[in-house]
């Protein structure tokens, strides 16, 4: 029983970080119907930025979120303006897949040239510390990572529910045509949403680089996990992404401890397939109605 | 309409440039002996670009050194190095082109088992000797090719043997009684852990936990939590670099420090390991390696000196990958000197007999290219990586049990 509870704690802590990454991916899809398969590469890019700030300027990785996030927001806006904005029409979603994948490979290539392919990890002085609470081990960095993710997700929720921009985003998610007719500036909202999605990847990347060793190729595994999370949560649903991410973290940790690491990822896919057979729109997704 | 003439012009231009370059090259060629052309596919981009770069340094250093001495059999050596982007298919294609289009005299191996296995098969088809520095996994030797010669002391799967032998030599009361075996699911790592487990179980070491994890498993914490609950005296990890670092980090965070810790890869990288796990956490960790900078192996002192002159840095930061590649050149130099030929069939026949001096030790192979020596047992002591066995190479004696993390 001790092992099971320990696994659940680990799973929840890790799931929080994945939730942050996945929320950016699902936000962009909800607003623009763009599947940003570069989200994993952007997370790794941010992990490198944070790593460089830590090793060269001794800026704590968690503090570096304050630098990396706005910088990558600007990058996200630029990417949307340059590559995504021109994709319109019925094939836009499919075309966006190719464009974003090209971006992911481009980022991987640039990182390989600059940082080489050896694994990196940001190791602040408290990286090895852990607390024992009621006999359960809680790593400090993982706890801080979870807290940082939770705070940022709350901030995202505030932006989406309490600001004019957030209302515009939600209006476009629900009905883009009606939102435009009511005066929502669709182009501007899409651009800012993409920037916001990338900045969420940035914050998650800074946190990711403290928990796991990474190299430029780490984005392949990341994006497969993130896509699974957003599909299970319901494409476009941030609440669903959070729920699915934490669920994935817990299931993987439990299967690793109780059965085998070999089955950990696979078990999550089994649950995903089983769930989608019953509820194809995902946990919090809305079934689209057609006439 | 305008595109075809432009293309034609470009093609014609290229042909003209190639022709001029060819004529200049022909004019500049030595009138007596043409250089020996050696084709090498290396991972200069992609996942293996770092180790590919280390191998390139070793190969180029050997070529420079041997050319300064007048070359091989009086002929200068020219390396034709092509990037395979870490792709086994591209590596095989590169070797096909070296042999059929570039008509090279010799080929040297690429980086890693993954690329060596298909490349060695191509070389075998054309009767070329395939002396190679980094393809030591079962996938290479399972092909049972007679043209392969691996320039490390032993097949990779045997890299833990020296540690097991050392454990056997300890007084019975000091030996570990229980062990856990986490291993990465790849062709190089899990066979090492499996082989060590078999040997240790025979010797009475009880297995309390074993698992294989896939490469996409980046989180070692749940695995370490399970290992810690089993309370083994020893952890033997069949690891590569990234998962090796993650495993140690997770153990540190879990405050779980076994009496003996051996990881097949990760701790054997003196430049990388301390930075990844924290320099204060390295002491007492064992690993295996094929080369050490202060080894008294043939030509090692000259190699280290030439390397530092050519590339700078410290001797302790020279990657073994450069020494492995340099050893390939040493083997060719020695065999050519002995048989007065660079004919591939004669080289293959000659290398199956006798011993060959290299910076990796004096090598000899069985019929399928497996070296018949043993790896070095390395241990982190006082925050430095030292060979502790075999005795003729050891700089320090093995220290056990492993101190607690941070000591």
d(CA A149, CA B196): 42
**What is chain B's mean pLDDT, rounded?**
90
Nearest chain B Cα to A142, which residue?
A: B253
Convert the pLDDT of each residue in B128-165 to its tens digit. Answer: 999 999 999 889 999 999 999 999 999 999 999 999 99
* B46–A117 C-beta distance less than 8 A: yes
Nearest chain A Cα to B53, which residue?
A: A116
Instruction: For residue A77, say if its preceding peptide bond is cis, omega within 30 degrees of 0.
Output: no
Quick one: pLDDT at residue B24? 42
Phi/psi at A32 (nearest 5 deg)? -115, -5
pLDDT range class, residue B301, cuts 50, 70, 90: very high
Is the confidence at residue B10, as pLDDT, over 70?
no
What average pLDDT does the segment B218-230 reach?
90
Residue from A197, A202, A232, A204 nearest A146 by CA:
A204
Quick one: pLDDT at residue A288? 54
- Residues ≥6 apart with Cβ < 8 Å to A262: B185, B211, B212, B213, B214
- Token code pair at residue A244: 């699915």
Q: Among A259-273, B22-36, B163-177, where is mean pLDDT lowest?
A: B22-36
Quick one: pLDDT at residue B12? 46
Quick one: pLDDT at residue B37? 97
The contact set of B with A (CB < 8 A) is 45-50, 53, 185, 211-214, 216-219, 221-223, 225-226, 229, 241-242, 245-246, 249, 252-255, 272, 275-276, 278, 281, 405-406
d(CA B365, CA A43): 47
What average pLDDT does the segment B345-357 reach?
96
Contacts of B252 in chain A (CB under 8 A): 128
C-beta separation of A100 from A36 below 8 A: yes
Nearest chain A Cα to B245, which residue?
A: A213
Contacts of A142 in chain B (CB under 8 A): 221
Of A128, A221, A257, the CB nearest to B226: A257
- Residues ≥6 apart with Cβ < 8 Å to A219: A40, A41, A43, A44, A104, A107, A108
- Token code pair at residue A246: 């934490």
Of A117, A139, A262, the CB nearest to B253: A139
C-beta separation of A100 from A87 below 8 A: no
- DSSP category for residue B375: P
Quick one: pLDDT at residue A181? 86
Q: Does A47 touch chain B (CB under 8 A)?
A: no
* B249–A127 C-beta distance less than 8 A: yes
Q: Does A130 touch chain B (CB under 8 A)?
A: yes
Quick one: pLDDT at residue B189? 87
B224-241 b/e (C-beta count within 10 Å ≥ 16 → b): bbbbbeeebbbbbbbbbb
Is the confidence at residue A195, as pLDDT, over 50?
yes
Residue from B352, B294, B303 nearest B324 by CA:
B303
What average pLDDT does the segment B16-32 reach?
43
* B281–A262 C-beta distance less than 8 A: no
Contacts of A7 in chain B (CB under 8 A): 222, 225
Is the confidence at residue A132, as pLDDT, over 80?
yes
**Interface predicted TM-score (ipTM) of this complex, two decimals:** 0.79
Quick one: pLDDT at residue A170? 85
d(CA A239, CA B118): 48
Q: Can you state the percent helix, strand and coil of chain B, rounding each to 5?
A: 45, 20, 40
d(CA B163, CA B185): 21
Convert the pLDDT of each residue in B229-244 to its tens digit. Answer: 999 999 999 998 889 9
What average pLDDT does the segment B275-282 reach?
91
Determine which of A119, A129, A258 to mutate to test the interface with B (most B C-beta atoms within 10 Å): A119
- B221-230 vs A238-258: helix crossing angle, rounded to 10: 30
d(CA A119, CA A249): 23
Quick one: pLDDT at residue A286? 62
The beta-strand segments (E) located in chain A are 130-133, 136-139
**What is chain A's mean pLDDT, rounded?**
88
d(CA A8, CA A249): 8
d(CA A118, CA A51): 13
What average pLDDT does the segment B67-85 reach?
96
Alpha-helix residue ranges (DSSP H) falling in A80-185: 92-115, 140-162, 164-174, 176-181
Convert the pLDDT of each residue in A75-115 to its tens digit. Answer: 999 999 998 888 877 788 888 899 999 999 999 999 988 99
Quick one: pLDDT at residue B17? 43
Quick one: pLDDT at residue B4? 43
Quick one: pLDDT at residue A56? 94
C-beta separation of B181 from B209 below 8 A: yes
Convert the pLDDT of each residue in B95-107 to its tens digit. Answer: 999 999 999 999 9
Convert the pLDDT of each residue in B370-404 to its tens digit. Answer: 999 999 999 999 999 999 999 888 989 999 999 99
pLDDT range class, residue B38, cuts 50, 70, 90: very high
Bridge partner residues of B363 (DSSP): B356
Contacts of A10 in chain B (CB under 8 A): 219, 221-222, 225
Nearest chain A Cα to B278, which residue?
A: A123
Quick one: pLDDT at residue A90? 76
């Amino acid at each position: 029983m001790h092992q099971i509870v320990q696994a659940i704690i680990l799973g929840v802590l890790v799931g929080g970080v994945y939730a942050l990454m996945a929320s950016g991916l699902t936000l962009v899809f909800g607003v623009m119907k763009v599947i940003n398969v570069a989200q994993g590469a952007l997370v790794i890019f941010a992990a490198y930025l944070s790593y460089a700030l830590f090793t060269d300027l001794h800026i704590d990785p968690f503090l570096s979120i304050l630098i990396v996030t706005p910088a990558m927001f600007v990058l996200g806006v630029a990417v949307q303006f340059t590559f995504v904005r021109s994709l319109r029409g019925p094939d836009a979603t499919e075309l966006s897949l190719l464009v974003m994948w090209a971006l992911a490979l481009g980022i991987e290539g640039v990182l390989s040239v600059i940082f080489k392919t050896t694994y990196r990890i940001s190791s602040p002085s408290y990286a090895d510390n852990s607390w024992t609470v009621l006999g359960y081990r809680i790593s400090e960095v993982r706890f801080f990572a979870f807290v940082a993710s939770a705070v940022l997700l709350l901030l995202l929720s505030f932006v989406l529910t309490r600001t004019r921009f957030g209302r515009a985003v939600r209006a476009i998610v629900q009905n883009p045509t009606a939102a435009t007719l009511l005066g929502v500036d669709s182009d501007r909202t899409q651009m800012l949403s993409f920037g916001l999605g990338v900045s969420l990847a940035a914050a998650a990347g800074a946190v990711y680089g403290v928990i796991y060793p990474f190299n430029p190729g780490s984005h392949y595994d990341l994006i497969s996990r993130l896509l699974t999370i957003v599909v299970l949560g319901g494409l476009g649903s941030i609440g669903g992404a959070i729920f699915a991410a934490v669920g994935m973290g817990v299931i993987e940790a439990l299967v690793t401890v109780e059965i085998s690491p070999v089955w950990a990822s696979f078990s999550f896919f089994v649950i995903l397939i089983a769930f989608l057979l019953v509820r194809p729109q995902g946990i919090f997704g809305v079934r689209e109605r057609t006439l | 309409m305008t595109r075809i003439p432009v293309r034609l012009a470009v093609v014609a231009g290229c042909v003209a440039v190639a022709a001029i370059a060819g004529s200049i090259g022909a004019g500049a060629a030595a009138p007596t002996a043409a250089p020996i052309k050696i084709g090498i596919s290396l991972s200069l981009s992609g996942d293996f670009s770092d180790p590919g770069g280390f191998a390139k340094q070793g190969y180029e250093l050997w070529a420079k050194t041997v050319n300064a001495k007048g070359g091989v059999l009086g002929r200068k050596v020219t390396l034709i190095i092509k990037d395979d982007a870490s792709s086994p298919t591209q590596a095989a294609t590169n070797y096909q082109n070296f042999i059929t289009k570039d008509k090279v005299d010799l080929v040297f191996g690429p980086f890693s088992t993954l690329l060596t296995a298909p490349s060695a098969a191509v070389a075998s088809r054309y009767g070329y000797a395939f002396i190679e520095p980094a393809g030591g996994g079962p996938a290479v030797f399972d092909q049972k090719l007679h043209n392969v010669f691996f320039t490390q002391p032993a097949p990779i799967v045997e890299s833990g043997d020296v540690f097991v032998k050392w454990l056997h030599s300890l007084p019975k009361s000091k030996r570990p009684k229980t062990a856990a075996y986490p291993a990465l699911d790849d062709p190089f790592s899990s066979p090492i852990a499996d082989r060590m487990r078999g040997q240790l179980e025979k010797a009475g070491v009880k297995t309390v936990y074993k698992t294989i994890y896939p490469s996409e498993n980046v989180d070692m914490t749940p695995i370490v939590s399970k290992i810690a609950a089993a309370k083994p005296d020893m952890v033997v990890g069949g690891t590569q670099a990234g998962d090796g670092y993650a495993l140690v980090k997770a153990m540190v965070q879990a405050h779980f420090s076994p009496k003996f810790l051996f990881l097949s890869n990760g701790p054997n990288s003196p430049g990388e390991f301390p930075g990844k796990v924290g320099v204060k956490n390295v002491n007492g960790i064992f690993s295996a390696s094929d080369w050490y900078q202060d080894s008294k192996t043939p030509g090692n002192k000259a190699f280290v000196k030439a390397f530092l002159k050519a590339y700078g840095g410290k001797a302790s930061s020279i990657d073994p990958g450069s020494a492995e590649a340099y050893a390939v050149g040493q083997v060719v130099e020695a065999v050519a000197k002995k048989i007065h030929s660079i004919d591939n069939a004669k080289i293959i026949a000659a290398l199956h007999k006798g011993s060959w001096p290299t910076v990796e030790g004096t090598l000899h192979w069985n019929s399928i290219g497996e070296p018949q020596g043993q790896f070095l047992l390395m241990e982190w002591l006082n925050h430095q990586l030292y060979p502790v066995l075999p005795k003729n190479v050891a700089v320090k004696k093995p220290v056990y049990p492993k101190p607690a993390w941070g000591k």
